[in-house]
């Protein structure tokens, strides 16, 4: 008599990943929907992301105390021990970035030259496997003249009339451009500068829109399409990856550079060497629901891998 087929095993790793992603989305929704409650949680030292852990500690301590109270002769401890954090089950930022850098070696050419469609597709698949990110060199039929090129350091952009470098949070020494970015000020005044616009300038990149073959003929459409368009930028040498927004045009072709990065972008990518120039990958992010936040990408969006 044939043996019955074995039951499929529960994929615990997959389950943990899905729970983590749900946790990330729930935290974002809570912050957006109830900013007052989130502020109160921060005030008492409980970040929204740690709310579940805090509740678990309270419940565990209460349950342990209850059991001990019902057990004759057992002293009540000052605190109940908890299982180690589930974060130890996940990869670290360094491991993820090193894995990405290693994977990109087989996809990139030995020199910083334009990528072939095959190379771009391979890199897109690598980014998805590591970060759960949907990104590519082409989006909605639009593409830049380069998806792999050299990036150079840029200054801060004025966010509103009268903005100064000293008003920015970090990298004040980088200075501020004398004129506005390609899309003007981010806000009409300081009072109208929102946290999202602050973050957009903080993590901005410049791309060579002026060299697009159809820039003049489709100026009205392309100008709006590229404004604050979300991109992913990767330093292939160390795997560091950041989500940025297009907020300026340039650099000029005579510089030999193809992209520009804000002081914050360059610092995170570790492109602050003496030359202030190095190779990067730049792909458009397909994020119609605006679920991918600007800034360093240090977790897998689909698997929910936290990076401590």
Are 54 and 131 within one domain?
no
Are 18 and 140 within one domain?
no
Residue 134 lies in a domain: yes
Are 124 and 267 within one domain?
yes
Residue 277: per-residue pLDDT: 79
Q: Give the contacts of 271 (CB within 8 A, at least 6 positions apart).
A: 151, 153, 235, 261, 277, 278, 280
CB count within 10 Å of CB 223 equals: 14
- Burial of residue 80 (number of CB atoms within 10 Å: 0-12, 13-18, 19+): middle
Residue 224 lies in a domain: yes
Are 169 and 285 within one domain?
yes
Residue 67: per-residue pLDDT: 41
Are 213 and 167 within one domain?
yes
Are 119 and 47 within one domain?
no
Are 27 and 144 within one domain?
no
pLDDT block averages, 10 residues each, the chain of length 308: 48 43 56 60 55 48 42 44 40 90 97 97 97 97 97 96 96 96 97 97 98 96 98 97 98 94 95 75 96 93 63
Are 121 and 269 within one domain?
yes
Are 60 and 103 within one domain?
no
pTM of the predicted model as reported, rounded to 2 decimal places = 0.72
In the chain, how many domains are there? 2
Residue 120 lies in a domain: yes
Residue 84 lies in a domain: no
State how beta strands 277-285 and 135-136 pair: antiparallel
Residue 50 lies in a domain: yes
Residue 288 lies in a domain: yes
CATH number of 224's domain:
2.40.40.10
Maximum distance among all Cα pairs of the chain, rounded to whole angstroms: 86
Are 167 and 267 within one domain?
yes
- What residues make up the domain containing 56? 12-69
The tokens describing 122, both together, are 């391979």
Residue 43: per-residue pLDDT: 53
Residue 301 lies in a domain: no
Residue 176 lies in a domain: yes
Are 190 and 123 within one domain?
yes
Are 100 and 54 within one domain?
no
């Amino acid at each position: 008599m044939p043996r019955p087929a074995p039951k499929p095993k529960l994929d615990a790793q997959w389950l943990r990943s899905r729970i983590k992603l749900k946790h990330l989305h729930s935290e974002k929704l809570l912050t957006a929907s109830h900013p007052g409650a989130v502020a109160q949680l921060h005030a008492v030292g409980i970040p929204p992301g740690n709310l579940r852990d805090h509740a678990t500690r309270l419940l565990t301590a209460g349950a342990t105390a209850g059991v001990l109270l019902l057990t004759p002769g057992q002293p009540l401890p000052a605190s109940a021990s908890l299982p180690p954090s589930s974060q130890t089950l996940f990869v670290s930022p360094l491991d993820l970035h090193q894995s990405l850098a290693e994977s990109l070696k087989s996809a990139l050419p030995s020199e910083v030259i334009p990528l072939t469609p095959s190379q771009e597709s391979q890199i897109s698949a690598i980014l998805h496997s590591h970060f759960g990110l949907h990104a590519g060199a082409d989006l909605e039929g639009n593409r830049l003249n380069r998806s792999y090129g050299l990036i150079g350091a840029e200054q801060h952009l004025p966010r509103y009339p009268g903005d100064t470098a000293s008003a920015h949070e970090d990298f004040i020494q980088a200075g501020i451009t004398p004129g506005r970015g390609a899309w003007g000020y981010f806000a009409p005044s300081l009072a109208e500068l929102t946290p999202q616009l602050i973050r957009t300038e903080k993590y901005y990149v410049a791309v060579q829109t002026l060299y697009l073959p159809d820039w003049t003929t489709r100026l009205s459409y392309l100008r709006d399409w590229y404004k604050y368009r979300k991109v992913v930028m990767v330093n292939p040498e160390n795997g560091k990856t950041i989500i940025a927004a297009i907020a300026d045009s340039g650099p000029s072709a005579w510089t030999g550079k193809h992209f520009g990065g804000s002081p914050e972008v360059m610092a995170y990518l570790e492109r602050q060497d003496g030359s202030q120039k190095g190779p990067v990958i730049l792909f458009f992010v397909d994020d119609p629901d605006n679920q991918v936040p600007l800034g360093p990408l240090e977790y897998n969006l689909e698997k929910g891998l936290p990076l401590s």
